[in-house]
Amino acid sequence: MHNVVSRDEIAPSVVRMVVEAPAVASKRLPGQFVVVRPLEVSERIPLTIVDSEPASGTITLIVQVVGATTRELTSIQPGENILDVVGPLGRPTHIEKFGRVVSIGGGVGTAVAFPIAKGMKEAGNEVWGVIGGRSRDFVILEDEMRSLCDRLVVTTDDGSYGVKGFVTDALRRLIEETSGAIDLVLAVGPLPMMKAVSALTREHGIHTVVSLNPIMVDGTGMCGGCRVEVGGEIKFACVDGPEFDAHLVDFDNLAKRLRAYHDMEQQADHQCKIGLATRNKQ
């Protein structure tokens, strides 16, 4: 059992939860994730560890409500418990002094871009951040990114805040401005965004890493649910990743696999809403 210490909605349908998990907090490294089962009836879902405080034994998770399990998880209030939190899992981000690193977060992907940017900064890199959201309300972790980045660009699709456009538009401008003098790009967000970043940096020969989030079940390499094609080989995101060389990832194949579960997820979410409404009435 893992006590929820705090819970706040940081964007529409995006909830930050600080959770007691001392064993995870003391060991986790940037880029790693936990597999969470909120309630007895729930499925397991992977969530990146956004931050940790070993002294208080807590980890921070950011959850976008997209289906049944995330709905069940975010219904848990401070003082209540999450059933299972297993981790840290996955390979940590490869961190060293690369030089100039651009960490890009598209929407909720910023929850993953932030700990990577923090690790890169601590390793002595010049870190630039690019974070974006559909509109002002969907930009998350701006203060946290600003406090560690040497430079930060914020974009919104509708221009309601920061620079109008996609994060990829901002990246293109940074590449032009520096004539490609960027040593590493890290990109996390929706698949079309990571694919677009990858296409852009390939043109300029800039090494690029993406963090993938396919469906995961056990998170330990046993079920095969998280398989992705990288450089023509099958890899399991939970044990071989979740970070991979963007220029080798088959994004179209991954998108097809994610779409295959869409109807089942919608049905499960519908049942979940009914279940939670019944529980709240009792």
- What is the Cα–Cα distance from 218 to 133, expressed in whole angstroms? 31
Rounded to a whole number of angstroms, the minimum distance from the CB of residue 179 to ligand NAD is 22
**What are the backbone dihedrals phi and psi of residue 215, each rounded to the nearest 5 degrees, phi first?**
-60, 135
209 binds, among ligand FES, ligand NAD, none (CB under 5 to 8 A by kind): none
- What is the Cα–Cα distance from 236 to 72, expressed in whole angstroms? 26
The structure tokens 């579960």 sit at 261
Q: Which residues of the chain form contacts with ligand FES (CB under 6 A)?
A: 216-219, 221-226, 236, 238
196 binds, among ligand NAD, ligand FES, none (CB under 5 to 8 A by kind): ligand NAD
Residues whose CB falls within 8 Å of the CB of residue 263, separated by 6 or more in sequence, listed in order: none
- What is the Cα–Cα distance from 112 to 211, expressed in whole angstroms? 8
- What is the Cα–Cα distance from 191 to 36, expressed in whole angstroms? 22
Rounded to a whole number of angstroms, the minimum distance from the CB of residue 29 to ligand FES is 19
Q: Given the complex with ligand NAD, which of 127 and 171 has the nearer CB atom?
A: 171
Rounded to a whole number of angstroms, the minimum distance from the CB of residue 201 to ligand NAD is 13
**What are the backbone dihedrals phi and psi of residue 194, each rounded to the nearest 5 degrees, phi first?**
-65, -35
Q: Identify whether the C-beta of residue 255 lies closer than 8 Å to the C-beta of residue 191.
A: yes
Q: Given the complex with ligand NAD, which of 76 and 116 has the nearer CB atom?
A: 116
238 binds, among ligand NAD, ligand FES, none (CB under 5 to 8 A by kind): ligand FES
Q: Which residues of the chain form contacts with ligand NAD (CB under 6 A)?
A: 48, 106-109, 111-112, 132-134, 138, 155, 157, 166-168, 188-190, 192-193, 196, 211-213, 242
Q: Given the complex with ligand NAD, which of 75 and 155 has the nearer CB atom?
A: 155
134 binds, among ligand NAD, ligand FES, none (CB under 5 to 8 A by kind): ligand NAD
The structure tokens 């995961």 sit at 216
- What is the Cα–Cα distance from 80 to 71, expressed in whole angstroms? 15
Rounded to a whole number of angstroms, the minimum distance from the CB of residue 11 to ligand NAD is 8
